[in-house]
Amino acid sequence: MVGAAIVRHSTVLAARRSYPAEAAGRWEFPGGKVGPDETAEAALAREIDEELGCSITIDSWLPGVSRWTDGGRTFELRVAICALVSGEPSTVEHDALRWLAPEQLDEVDWLAPDRPFLPSVREVLLDGEPLPGGNVGGAVRIGPTVRRPTGPWTPAVHALLRHLAASGLPAVPRVHGIDARGREVLDFLPGEVIDVDAEQLSEERLAHLGSWLRRLHEACAGFTHVGPWRFFGVDSPTLITHNDVAPYNVAFDGDAVSGVFDWDLAGPSTPVQDLGHTAWSAIPLFRPIPAAEAARRLTVFAEGYGTDPRTVLKAVQPRVQLAIDGIREAVRRGDAGMINLAATGEPEGTERALAGFLARREAIADELPAPGRPT
């Protein structure tokens, strides 16, 4: 006999039997018997089509074989890790289906032949689905959660996230603790992430991003924590904030911010430092777009926040230099994530981009509306 551990977003499909009586109400990896002229792979594909009404592909067979005796006959079960190719599983021959995360495998009453495979399935699920983007690395998706490496800064970051959740600020992941591999467990925040190397944020999204940052800073104003924090640190900080609100860390639903993630660089800073970094990455000011266009987009973003675009423009250079210096110091200290970032050519790439921005900054400033003048 063969069974399918069908995996999607690092959760596995469990199916509840409705018959025979001795098996009804218990859970299994769906599958069935191998015909006399079938390979195990062909039999599994056929059984899944018949039982669930969907198509699968087999990634690998789990180690081991489960054996049991029934009515004087000996049976064997092999289980394969599978992925959906087409169709959505339905209850054709079962009365219930569940997608289980690794921590949920023990929540259901499995049939005895399936139980020996649970440890191997759990390890496969804990590997997670690597998430695209970012250079620090290590984030994976498991069902509705994201798992990320922790550090000395994690307790402080989790305290901040819980404070923001209590404040009602939208688009902030909830904290669900630490998993079996020592990673933090946070909400997976769906939405569209814009690659600014391929396209620009719309001006509507820039305005909403500015508005969301204002709400973040207002929510952070009442929060304090001694840390330690991973962030590089600024002179005379006035609040604890995200410090890396950039397009690669933001998801949108339409024009609205639907998720802001990667909070590991949160720490003591100032609102204007936050604004300078977001303007650098989201306008974007690291790329040589025309001065008039940069000024218009900067104005939209600043007005979304409720501040003067000249204030934001002035903050860009010191905030970017802080990142350059901070990356080098973190690499010197042995920060694994920053070492990964350095392997991509940082902070040298940012230094070159900053030199280009400084050559363009005056032209951008000349295109900004005079203080107090309507845009």
Exposure on the CB side of residue 348, measured as CA atoms within 13 A? 4
User: Residue 372: inside a domain, yes or no?
Assistant: no
Place 172 in a pLDDT band, splitting at 50, 70 and 90: very high
Q: Under DSSP, is residue 126 helix (H, G, I), strand (E, B) or coil? A: helix
Mean pLDDT of 253-266: 96
User: Residue 356: inside a domain, yes or no?
Assistant: yes
User: Residue 375: inside a domain, yes or no?
Assistant: no
Place 336 in a pLDDT band, splitting at 50, 70 and 90: confident
State yes or no: pLDDT of 10 exceeds 90.
yes
Please tell me whether residues 357 and 208 are part of one structural domain: yes
Task: Tell me the percentage of the chain whose pLDDT exceeds 90.
Answer: 85
Place 136 in a pLDDT band, splitting at 50, 70 and 90: low
User: Residue 140: inside a domain, yes or no?
Assistant: yes
Q: Could you report the per-residue pLDDT of 58-85, keeping only the tens digit for each?
A: 999 999 999 999 888 999 999 999 999 9
Number of domains composing the chain? 3
Which of these, 126, 209, 144, lies nearest to 170 by C-alpha position?
Answer: 209
Which of these, 261, 22, 305, lies nearest to 145 by C-alpha position?
Answer: 261
Mean pLDDT of 196-210: 95
Please tell me whether residues 196 and 275 are part of one structural domain: yes
Rounded CA-CA distance 338/229 in Å is: 14
Mean pLDDT of 282-311: 97
Mean pLDDT of 270-299: 97
User: Residue 41: inside a domain, yes or no?
Assistant: yes
Please tell me whether residues 143 and 220 are part of one structural domain: no
**Alpha helices in the chain, H assignment, sequence order:** 40-52, 118-127, 154-167, 203-220, 271-282, 291-305, 309-333, 336-342, 348-367
Please tell me whether residues 169 and 292 are part of one structural domain: no
Please tell me whether residues 138 and 51 are part of one structural domain: no
CB proximity list for 372: less than 8 A, separation 6 or greater? none
Which of 186, 206, 223 is at the close of a domain?
186
Please tell me whether residues 89 and 149 are part of one structural domain: no
Q: What is the pLDDT of residue 373?
A: 55
Measure CA 237 to chain center.
Answer: 28
User: Residue 374: inside a domain, yes or no?
Assistant: no
Mean pLDDT of 250-276: 96
Please tell me whether residues 138 and 116 are part of one structural domain: no
Please tell me whether residues 276 and 347 are part of one structural domain: yes
Mean pLDDT of 244-266: 96
Q: What is the pLDDT of residue 122?
A: 98
Please tell me whether residues 111 and 162 are part of one structural domain: no
Q: Which residues pair with 260 in a beta bridge?
A: 250
User: Residue 75: inside a domain, yes or no?
Assistant: yes
Q: Which two tokens stand for residue 172?
A: 């902030």
Please tell me whether residues 85 and 148 are part of one structural domain: no
Provide the whole-model pTM: 0.89
What is 82-103 written as a DSSP string? EEEEES----SSEEEEEEE-GG
275 vs 325, more confident: 275
Please tell me whether residues 227 and 337 are part of one structural domain: yes
State yes or no: pLDDT of 314 exceeds 80.
yes
What is 41-66 written as a DSSP string? HHHHHHHHHHHHS-EEEEEEEPSS-E
What CATH code is carried by the domain that includes residue 198?
3.90.1200.10
User: Residue 158: inside a domain, yes or no?
Assistant: yes
Q: What is the pLDDT of residue 337?
A: 80
State yes or no: pLDDT of 137 exceeds 70.
no
Mean pLDDT of 127-136: 76
> Domain range spanning residue 244?
192-367
> How close are the terminal C-alpha atoms of the chain, in Å?
72
Which of 127, 148, 168 is at the close of a domain?
127
For the chain, what is the radius of gyration of the CA atoms? 26
Q: At what angle do helices 348-367 and 309-333 cross, to 10 degrees?
A: 170
Mean pLDDT of 348-360: 96
What CATH code is carried by the domain that includes residue 10?
3.90.79.10
Please tell me whether residues 135 and 206 are part of one structural domain: no
